Amino acid sequence: MKKVLSGIQPSGQLTLGNYIGALQNFVKLQHSEECFFMIVDLHAISVPQDPANLREQTEAVAALFIAAGIDPSKATVFVQSHVREHAELGWLFTTLANMGELERMTQFKDKSSGKESVGAGLFVYPTLMAADILLYNADLVPVGDDQKQHLELTRDLAHRFNTRFGSYFTIPEPYIPKVGARIMSLDDASKKMSKSNPNPASFIALLDPPDVIRKKISRATTDSGREVKYDPANKPEISNLIGIYSHCANMSIAEIEARYEGQGYGPFKKDLAEHVVSVLEPLQNKYHDIRNSGEIHTILKQGAERASEVASRTLADAKDLMGFLRPRG
């Protein structure tokens, strides 16, 4: 079994894009690989967070992991800050990274653009991400296109450590599904569906009520014309909706095109909304059961204990190789 590591920030509401692009893949991978899935709260604070919201969202994201189908008996589910080795190895890798490498990170440039002051955490957070991955010597890392650059830095830092201190860390590979890796915004198909978008109509939150989902899809931007045809280059808006339909209805694109031939966007969007609701309602019911039962705290405690067993060994080995003196007595 290969080791898989991935995480999601507890900032904002998880979206249908997170479900299709990440959570569904987590659920598949847990059956064939050794998986570590975490809520990356240390990454979230690279930009200011309201403490009460951070606490609530961390628990909510963890519960959504389980509601989406991640089985804590098959995969290790935990909160990043509950495993202190992440922060310590993150610092060690910060000392191996160069200023130029971090300055070239596209996400840093995007998030710092136009701001008078930028936190140092936002600048160095790719080295913490590297530590997250390498603590578990992950073979595969599910990443979207926007995280490829960070994974490349992780590979470079692992190679640099291995060259300088002795071969130890696995060089991770990206896991990028061919389908469903990128669901776009409902109001602009040139942008990824994002929980940080200030316009709530641009995304479907996993906990949106059915009537809200129906309204958002009915108002989703469509291309000129009325043909339900998958053509990302010339009809990006309807192609994005067809992609969502395909995942939620478990139908091929060709089947969807044939079903709505000559019918226009209206019937298509109405049926799409019902398919999305049929997928999310059971997830929402399970989510509320988990939150009400309080079992998520037990799951996270057990997950952190399992993760710490692996992470503590990795950190101790890395410090030995770097020349740190072990405590005695």
pLDDT along the chain (329 residues), means of 10: 95 90 92 97 93 96 98 98 98 96 82 78 92 97 81 96 98 77 86 86 95 96 92 93 93 94 94 97 97 96 98 98 92
At residue 218, the pLDDT reads 95
Closest by alpha carbon to 296, among 58, 101, 115?
58
The per-residue pLDDT for 79 is 98
The catalytically annotated residue of 192, 216, 235, 269 is 192
Please report the pLDDT score of residue 178 as a whole number: 61
Q: Does the active-site annotation cover 3? A: no
Q: Which one of the listed residues 3, 74, 111, 319 is annotated catalytic?
A: 111
Q: What are the C-alpha distances in Å from 226 to residues 137, 222, 257, 263, 269?
A: 50, 9, 12, 8, 12
This model's pTM is above 0.85: yes
- Examine the residue annotation and report whether 192 is marked as an active-site residue of this protein: yes
Residue with tokens 């990206």: 174
pLDDT at 192: 87
Q: Is 118 exposed, middle or buried (0-12, 13-18, 19+ CB in 10 A)?
A: middle
pLDDT at position 117 is: 78
pLDDT for the residue numbered 282? 96
115 in active site: no
